[in-house]
Amino acid sequence: MAAEWSIQELAKVARTTSRTLRHYGDLGLLPPSRIGSNGYRYYDQESLVRLQRILLLRELGLGLPAIAEVLAGQKDTAAALRTHLELLKHEQDRIARQITSVQTTLRKTEAGEQLMANEVFDGFDHARYRDEVIERWGKDAWESGDRWWNSMSEAEKKAHLQTHVDIAADYGRAHAAGVPVDSDEVQAIVQRHYDWLGTTPTGGPVNAQYFNGLGDMYVADQRFAKNYDKHGHGTAAYVRDAMRVYARTRL
């Protein structure tokens, strides 16, 4: 008898939930190979491969409707898996470059050496956040930002990123030295930060609401917080507070 798995067993080995598998089934993405007399859903080896493809596509950022289209258009399972394998190898290479980048940043930071933007951001692709940007700020925000980014030369991109690296490091030094957030010294850093943001497509002038919201995000979202807190624990909150002062007094 061919091997098969109950929905609970499949959910366990795939590290997902029975509810998720039932949802995939209801959408036609993962129909059970059979339904027992007890009403339970069972899955065969073909189902395992299909679920692997679904999970791989999810990790690549595709939504369920797009996954349905991919599965419907790729009848040759082996060919589809070869495509997935190539995508995973590209992702593996990108992650390896990120690891090397972070190792270089750590080594140079500990040694007090000058950081280079191309080293710090190697392997980081702004396009991977496309869906999130569209969800938060709309398709126009993504498209204008993407056009702006791709219009720059590699040297201009590196210079833009390096400017923020320098600003973040100056915030960290001021925080470590205990300089008040409302001091002229710190507010001068915030001014550079504000000017830097002004060079990016924000859909209009950077107003107080936008600026304060950005500061709050620097603390709430760990992807942003770590860019500042690597210069000292609490630096992200320090940056937010400095931005609030700037917004209250100058915007």
- Reported as a single tens digit per residue, the pLDDT across 54-64 is 887 887 667 78
- Tell me the per-residue pLDDT of 14-38, one tens digit each, with 9 for 90 and over: 888 889 999 999 989 999 999 988 8
Residues 6 or more apart whose CB falls under 8 angstroms from that of 67 comprise 29, 54, 57, 58
Token pair 């069972």: residue: 42
Q: What is the largest CA-CA distance in the chain?
A: 78
Is the per-residue pLDDT at 242 higher than 90? yes
Is the per-residue pLDDT at 141 higher than 80? no
Question: What local confidence, expressed as pLDDT, does residue 127 receive?
Answer: 52
What is the model's pTM?
A: 0.47
Instruction: Evaluate whether 133 touches 142 at the Cβ level (below 8 Å).
Output: yes
What gap in Å lies between CA 242 and CA 236, rounded to an integer?
10
| Domain ranges, ordered by start, for the chain | 5-74, 153-250
- Give the 3-state secondary structure of residue 43: strand
Q: What is the mean pLDDT of the chain?
A: 78
Q: Comparing C-alpha atoms, which of 208, 217, 213 is closest to residue 249? A: 208
Q: Comparing C-alpha atoms, which of 81, 101, 79 is closest to residue 89? A: 81
In CATH, the architecture of 153-250 is Orthogonal Bundle (1.10)
Would you tell me which CATH number, out of the four given (1.10.1660.10, 3.40.640.10, 3.10.20.740, 3.30.70.20), belongs to the domain 5-74? 1.10.1660.10
Q: Do domains 5-74 and 153-250 have the same CATH topology?
A: no
Confidence of residue 243 (pLDDT cuts 50, 70, 90): very high
